[in-house]
Structure 1
Amino acid sequence: MRKTIILNLDDPDDSVYHSILLLLSTRQTDMGIEIITNPKDEMIISSELKIRQAERRAYFKDSEIALTRKEYDILLYLLQNINQVLTFTQIYEYVWKEPDYGTGQEVVSHHVRSLRRKLYLDKSSGCYLRTVRGVGYSLEKQKSCIGYPGG
């Protein structure tokens, strides 16, 4: 008998969600389980760069890009605030969840440099990380650069 389980959680970062998803994915072949995630979960950043939020993974030309937890969190925060300048302090306090005691600019800049090396974003791709000297960063996009499949 085939059974269907539907998980509909408001917070995809919830630890319960990730625990259930991990359990099901490790037993997937043993139990004949098929995991289908919401297609809106996949963010298309450029024609070659995609992010799957439920998995916390980024892909370039269908190959996974190894991002650290902080790199991923910074990227997601910039995506959530597309075309807006975020200060070093805003990024630091959002990602590290603590006040910026004066080291935020250095720490955030280090992670953004690493993101740039890994993501291959430039103006020709339609999306790029813009530095606002002395202020922070902005993820800039051209029309229809970032979207969700089917929506």
Structure 2
Amino acid sequence: MHTSPAPTQPADPVKDTLVSQAVGQAGRCGAPHILTVRRELFPQLEGGTEAGRRRALATARHFAHHRSFYRAMLTGSCAFATTRALNGVLGSLQRPVMRMLFGELDQAAVEDLTAFFSGGMAAVINDWLIDGEDPLDPEEFTDRLLRLMSVVTAGQHLQADGGHV
């Protein structure tokens, strides 16, 4: 039986480069989930640095929907590569936010802040995926993420659930 290839999203050179770099770093272990994130989550996150509830909920729903896959990848022999690759993907989404939050910074500071925030976000997501009660509740988790972002951005006079972070 012949199967048709899965439909793909239109080419986006920036995202393709980020995904290629992350896959290259993660190797065979990281490739499946990076492609899943690109194909299924990135299109829902279009809109630049707008965060708000829509993007946070899309992220939570994506990870909840693919929980068994991510849980296996995050607890098995590929855990390090998976975590590193996910941090890279989340970092690509967080980098512009760092400039909005903290203004003009040198590139090293932007990269450090991006790693700090995306790594922390990944840790919270990973804990939820691995240890969260069945079934996962994306709405509740979204509220949790938005509360965290409100705390982090409070000194920046921005509200995480107000549309921009």
Bigger RCO (CA 8 Å, 6+ sep): 2
Larger radius of gyration: 1
Q: TM-score, normalised by structure 1?
A: 0.30
Which structure has the highest helix share of the two? Answer: 2
Which structure has the highest strand share of the two? Answer: 1
Q: TM-score, normalised by structure 2?
A: 0.29
